[in-house]
Amino acid sequence: MKIILLLTLSLALFAKSPLLPEASVAVVDGISISEDDLQREVNKLMPKSFLHSNVTDEKVKDLKIKAMKTLIDRALLYNYALSENLGATKEDVENQLMKMERTIKNKVKGVKDTRRFLIEGFKKNGVSFETLKLAIKKDITLDNLYKEKIKKTITNEDLKKYYEKNMYKFKEPEKRRVRLIYIRNNPSAKNGKEDARLKAKEAMKKIQDGADFGDIAAKYSNAMSRIKGGDMGFIHKGLLEPYVEEKSFKLKKGEISEIIEMDIGFYIVKIEDMKESKQLSFNKIKDGLRRDLKVKFEDKKRTDLLERLKLKSKIIR
| pLDDT tens for each residue of 140-184 | 999 999 999 999 999 999 999 999 999 999 999 999 999 999 999
**Predicted pLDDT at 18:** 37
Average pLDDT over residues 230-244: 94
**Predicted pLDDT at 102:** 94
From the CB of residue 195, how many other CB atoms can be counted at a distance below 10 Å? 14
Please provide the average confidence, as pLDDT, over all residues in the chain: 89
- Whether residue 4 has pLDDT greater than 60: no
Q: What is the set of domains in the chain, with CATH numbers?
A: 14-151 (1.10.4030), 171-278 (3.10.50.40)
Smallest CA-to-CA distance from 213 within 226, 222, 223, 199 is with 226
**Predicted pLDDT at 53:** 59
**Predicted pLDDT at 15:** 36
The answer to whether 207 touches 195, Cβ cutoff 8 Å, is no
User: Measured between alpha carbons, how far apart are the two ends of the chain, in Å?
Assistant: 41
Query: What is each CA distance from 71 to 8, 11, 160, 187, in whole angstroms?
Result: 15, 10, 37, 51
Please state, in angstroms and rounded to a whole number, the distance separating the CA atoms of residues 215 and 206: 10
- pLDDT tens digits, 36-59: 889 888 888 886 545 555 678 888
**Predicted pLDDT at 5:** 39
- Whether residue 71 has pLDDT greater than 90: yes
- pLDDT tens digits, 273-316: 999 999 999 999 999 999 999 999 999 999 999 999 999 999 99
Q: Exposed, middle or buried: residue 57 (CB in 10 Å: 0-12, 13-18, 19+)?
A: exposed
154 vs 3, more confident = 154
Q: What is the pTM of this model?
A: 0.68
Contacts of 261 (CB under 8 A, 6+ apart): 197
Amino acid at 20: L
